[in-house]
Amino acid sequence: MPVYSKKFDVIVVGAGHAGCEAALAAARMGFETLTLCLNLDTVAAMSCNPAIGGLAKGHLVREIDALGGQMAKAADACGIQFKMLNTSKGPAVQAPRAQCDKVEYRLWMKDVLENTPRLSLKQGHVDRLLVDKASNTVLGVATKTGIEYLAKAVILTTGTFLQGLIHIGDNRIKSGRAGEQASEGLSASLRDLGLELGRLKTGTNPRVDRNTIDFKALKEFPGDDLVQPFSFSTPRGSLKNKIVCWTVNTNEAVHETIRSSMERSPLYNGVIKGVGPRYCPSIEDKVMRFPDKAFHQIILEPEGLRTAELYLNGLSTSLPEDDQLRFLRQIKGFEAVEIMRPGYAVEYDYVPPTQLKSSLECKAIKGLYLAGQINGTSGYEEAAAQGLMAGINAALALKGREPLIFSRHQAYIGVLIDDLVTKGTTEPYRLFTSLAEYRLLLRQDNADLRLMDFGLDIGLLDPETYAAFDKRRMALKSEFERLDRLMIKADSEINATLRELESAEISQPTSLSSFLKRPEISYEDLNRLAMGGADMDLDFAVRQQAEIQIKYEGYIKRQLHQIDQFRKIEEKKLDENLDYSLIYGLSREAREKLSRHRPMTLGQAGRISGVTPADISVLWVALEAQKHLGALKVPEPETL
Ligand code: FAD
Average pLDDT over residues 382-398: 98
Distance CA 229, CA 87 (A): 15
Distance CA 581, CA 271 (A): 43
pLDDT of residue 640: 30
Residue 89 CB-half CA count within 13 A: 10
Tell me the CA–centroid distance for residue 160 and ligand 1, in Å.
5
Average pLDDT over residues 458-467: 98
Distance CA 392, CA 444 (A): 21
Classify residue 609 by its DSSP letter: T
Does 383 contact ligand 1 (Cβ within 6 A)? Answer: yes
Of all protein residues, whose CA lies closest to atom 46 belonging to ligand 1? 380
Higher pLDDT, 545 or 592: 545
CA distances for 266 relative to 69, 284, 424, angstroms: 38, 10, 26
Distance CA 247, CA 341 (A): 20
Tell me the CA–centroid distance for residue 52 and ligand 1, in Å.
14
Tell me the CA–centroid distance for residue 394 and ligand 1, in Å.
21
Does 44 contact ligand 1 (Cβ within 6 A)? Answer: no
Does 339 contact ligand 1 (Cβ within 6 A)? Answer: no
What sign results for the dihedral spanned by CA atoms 498, 504, 506, 512?
A: negative
Tell me the CA–centroid distance for residue 284 and ligand 1, in Å.
23
Of all protein residues, whose CA lies closest to atom 29 belonging to ligand 1? 48
pLDDT of residue 631: 52
Of all protein residues, whose CA lies closest to atom 2 belonging to ligand 1? 16
Atom of ligand 1 nearest to the CA of 124: 20
Closest CA to 344 of 265, 429, 249, 254: 265
Average pLDDT over residues 167-177: 94
CA distances for 531 relative to 493, 507, 535, angstroms: 13, 20, 10
Q: Are 164 and 177 in contact (CB under 8 A)?
A: yes
Does 39 contact ligand 1 (Cβ within 6 A)? Answer: yes
Tell me the CA–centroid distance for residue 158 and ligand 1, in Å.
7
Tell me the CA–centroid distance for residue 30 and ligand 1, in Å.
27
Instruction: For the chain, report the end-to-end CA distance as a whole number of angstroms.
Output: 62
Distance CA 61, CA 412 (A): 10
CA distances for 362 relative to 133, 598, 634, angstroms: 14, 12, 31
Atom of ligand 1 nearest to the CA of 374: 52
Of all protein residues, whose CA lies closest to atom 43 belonging to ligand 1? 47
Band the pLDDT of 440: cuts 50, 70, 90. Answer: very high
pLDDT of residue 629: 60
CA angle, 522 then 527 then 531, to 5°: 160
CA distances for 244 relative to 214, 306, 495, 628, angstroms: 15, 14, 45, 66
608-625: pLDDT as tens digits = 877 877 788 888 888 887
What sign results for the dihedral spanned by CA atoms 47, 50, 55, 58?
A: positive
Strands (DSSP E) found in 178-244? 198-204, 207-209, 219-221
Residue 507 CB-half CA count within 13 A: 0
Average pLDDT over residues 393-417: 97
Neighbours of 377 (CB within 10 A): 27
Closest CA to 89 of 352, 433, 396, 406: 433
Does 227 contact ligand 1 (Cβ within 6 A)? Answer: no
45-89: pLDDT as tens digits = 999 999 999 999 999 999 999 999 999 999 999 999 999 999 999
557-594: pLDDT as tens digits = 998 988 887 777 778 888 888 899 888 889 888 998 89
The model's pTM? 0.92
Residue 458 CB-half CA count within 13 A: 31
263-307: pLDDT as tens digits = 888 877 778 877 877 778 899 989 998 999 999 999 999 999 999
Tell me how long the chain is.
Answer: 640
Amino acid identity of residue 307, one-letter, is T
Task: List, in sequence order, every residue forming a beta bridge with 3; answer none if it has no partner.
Answer: 148
- Write b or e for each residue in 432-455: b if 16 or more Cβ atoms lie within 10 A of its Cβ, otherwise e: ebebbebbbbbbbbbbbbbbbbbb
Q: Residue 634 pLDDT > 80, yes or no?
A: no
DSSP string, 250-269: --HHHHHHHHHTGGG-TTTS
Average pLDDT over residues 214-239: 95
Of all protein residues, whose CA lies closest to atom 42 belonging to ligand 1? 379
- φ/ψ of residue 81, rounded to 5: -150, 130
pLDDT of residue 630: 57
Tell me the CA–centroid distance for residue 374 and ligand 1, in Å.
9
Does 8 contact ligand 1 (Cβ within 6 A)? Answer: no
CA distances for 488 relative to 352, 479, 526, angstroms: 59, 16, 10
- φ/ψ of residue 288, rounded to 5: -75, -40
DSSP H or E run through 93 = none
Q: What percent of the chain has pLDDT over 90?
A: 82
Amino acid identity of residue 441, one-letter, is L
Classify residue 45 by its DSSP letter: -
- φ/ψ of residue 208, rounded to 5: -120, 165
pLDDT of residue 628: 66
